[in-house]
Structure 1
Amino acid sequence: MGCGAALSLPVQAQEAVPPGSAHGFDVRLALRASQDAVGRELGEHLFRDRNGRTVALSGYRGKPLLVSFIYTGCFQICPGTTRALQQAVQALEKSVGPGQFNVVSIGFNQPEDSPQALKAFAAKFNIGSGNWEFLSPRAADVPALARDFGFLFQPTTAGFDHVLQLSLVDAQGRIVRQIYGEQLNAADLGEPLRLLLAGAPVARERVLEGLWERVRLVCTVYDAKTGNYRVDYTLPIQIAGGLTFFVVMMVFFFNEWRASRRSARQRPPARPRRA
């Protein structure tokens, strides 16, 4: 089965798109459903991974999660978006460190998107990362799963019409951002992911380590030339400079205050004037 019209439209373009595609797919409705899912706490869903083991969606809680919907019969759009996502994930791992987030690609065309088919799809792209899994739901579970994520799709003679979306889920299992587009890159994913990681609660016994991670995450910037993130120390240097200046000025004024008090104590008392 070939690939249908996987529509790569940003949310800002909702009012500019026609009511439907050539196949009658309602783009505005799809984008509205996608955006309505933001803030939703996801329900429990069960899958089989590439090795046929049962996996629960709730098992990914505790870290940010990137969720994409694919189907293995797509020979153009899905492979392209998966390849772009792979490059973005590799760049993000260099920025925030390995194991800081998880990725799942869900095969929604059942029963064709079996664990074996997804395993072959992942192998084609040499995706063997421990934090990226390809999941196969039961055919009966796909409608509820798609509704939960706000993912609308429509079968066509060529495949499926659907909006290309990547759902960013927080550590508590809530969708916090829908990211759209065929050519995803680290810049698209990096900002919201870094905000999630920077705002994660830090264990009391690791306060200093967590503080450094917050500074490092906030101060990384995307380099469009290399496609990677790099650490920008300008902000912490400016903050340190400002704090140093403040401390120096406080010490200066304190010393001046002490000197004036010492001078006042050493000065002889004034004699009263006689009339």
Structure 2
Amino acid sequence: MDLLRLCATLALVILAWGTPATAEKLDAEIAFEQSQAAIGNQTAAHVLRDHRGRDLPLEQFRGKPLVVSLVYTSCASVCPLVTDHLRSAVLESRDVLGAQSFDILTFGFDASGDRPGQLAGFAGTHKLLEIDGWQIASAEEAVTEALLSDLGFSFRAAAGGYAHVTQTTILDSEGKVYRQVYGQSFPLPMLFEPLKELVLGRTTRSFAADALWDRLTFLCTVYDPLTGAYRFDYAIVFGMFFGALSLILMGWVILRLWLERRRAQKERLTVRGRKVV
């Protein structure tokens, strides 16, 4: 938790350096506490506005995990970098979890500046809408304030922009806040691991082939720091297979010995019975 707190604090400080605050300063410690306290929050049925000016109900994303990226489109420094990094991380994660495994929402929190035209321009620059399941939206001030409260996101006006934590929020399939990811170039596992937990599940009680395969994928997908990507580790599969095979063989040997011992006991009892007669 201390490392997570440090990352969140640094993420805020880096942005604040580039935009000296002209209003109330954003306290990094308080912002972090509010962000973490939001974990478990149920997001309300907010209705957003997409890049075409059409209503985009947040409930539309129920049924899958949702990655929410919080930016403002007039940002010329951190937000574009965060978005490009997130795009790469999303593609890497979907290579393993599946193209339809989770959705992404880029939300413009500048209610007065993030209008449909600005959203469309931002999405086009970063090629967001080319990725299936990625939406970009904003909302009126009251809805924006309520949504950001649900997500535990804090920001303050600053000269030429806003000071805010570079926060990406992961919602579960029911719309509850599951995990917060901080920083403009976070390590891939920070995004992938919680998504893997949500998409594949930590446990399964089903014996269906697809459920068992999901469980196997969950156990055997590992991060390779040399390539910066995830891969399916067949060595784990082979280890599990030969381990199970060894247990089966050991069980078979024990069973054979037990059966032979019972047979020998019965034979001795039979011989004794004949002698008595």
Normalised to the residue count of structure 1, the TM-score between the two structures is 0.86
Using the TM superposition, give the Cα deviation of residue 181 of structure 1 relative to its aligned residue in structure 2, in angstroms. Answer: 0.8
Using the TM superposition, give the Cα deviation of residue 50 of structure 1 relative to its aligned residue in structure 2, in angstroms. Answer: 1.9
| 1:196 correspondence with 2:189 | no
Using the TM superposition, give the Cα deviation of residue 201 of structure 1 relative to its aligned residue in structure 2, in angstroms. Answer: 8.8
| Cα separation, partners in 2 of 1:68 and 1:38, compared to 1, 3 Å | same
CA contact (8 A) 1:168 1:178 kept: yes
Residue in structure 1 matched with residue 139 of structure 2 by the alignment: 137
Q: Distance in 2 between matches of 1:146 and 1:264?
A: 76
1:46-61 alignment, distance < 5 Å? 46-61=47-62
Q: Distance in 2 between matches of 1:25 and 1:262?
A: 81
CA contact (8 A) 1:95 1:228 kept: no
Using the TM superposition, give the Cα deviation of residue 56 of structure 1 relative to its aligned residue in structure 2, in angstroms. Answer: 0.8
CA contact (8 A) 1:89 1:186 kept: no
More helix by share: 2
| 1:96 correspondence with 2:97 | yes
Unaligned ranges ≥5, structure 2: none
Unaligned ranges ≥5, structure 1: 1-8
| Cα separation, partners in 2 of 1:247 and 1:202, compared to 1, 3 Å | closer
* Aligned residue among 150, 153, 156 for 1:151: 153
Considering only aligned residues, what root-mean-square deviation do their CA atoms show, in Å?
A: 2.6
| Cα separation, partners in 2 of 1:83 and 1:10, compared to 1, 3 Å | farther
Using the TM superposition, give the Cα deviation of residue 214 of structure 1 relative to its aligned residue in structure 2, in angstroms. Answer: 2.1
Residue in structure 2 matched with residue 181 of structure 1 by the alignment: 183
Given residue 246 of structure 1, which amino acid in structure 2 is its aligned partner? L
Given residue 242 of structure 2, which amino acid in structure 1 is its aligned partner? G
Q: Percent identity?
A: 31
Q: Distance in 1 between matches of 2:201 and 2:104?
A: 19
CA contact (8 A) 1:96 1:217 kept: no
| Cα separation, partners in 2 of 1:52 and 1:218, compared to 1, 3 Å | farther
1:115-134 alignment, distance < 5 Å? 115-127=116-128, 128-134=130-136
Given residue 231 of structure 1, which amino acid in structure 2 is its aligned partner? F
| Cα separation, partners in 2 of 1:61 and 1:78, compared to 1, 3 Å | same
Q: Distance in 2 between matches of 1:109 and 1:80?
A: 18
Q: Secondary structure at the match of 2:271?
A: coil
| 1:261 correspondence with 2:262 | yes
Residue in structure 1 matched with residue 73 of structure 2 by the alignment: 72
| Cα separation, partners in 2 of 1:175 and 1:15, compared to 1, 3 Å | closer
Residue in structure 2 matched with residue 246 of structure 1 by the alignment: 247
Q: Secondary structure at the match of 1:269?
A: helix
1:165-176 alignment, distance < 5 Å? 165-176=167-178
Q: Distance in 2 between matches of 1:42 and 1:16?
A: 25
Q: Secondary structure at the match of 1:41?
A: coil
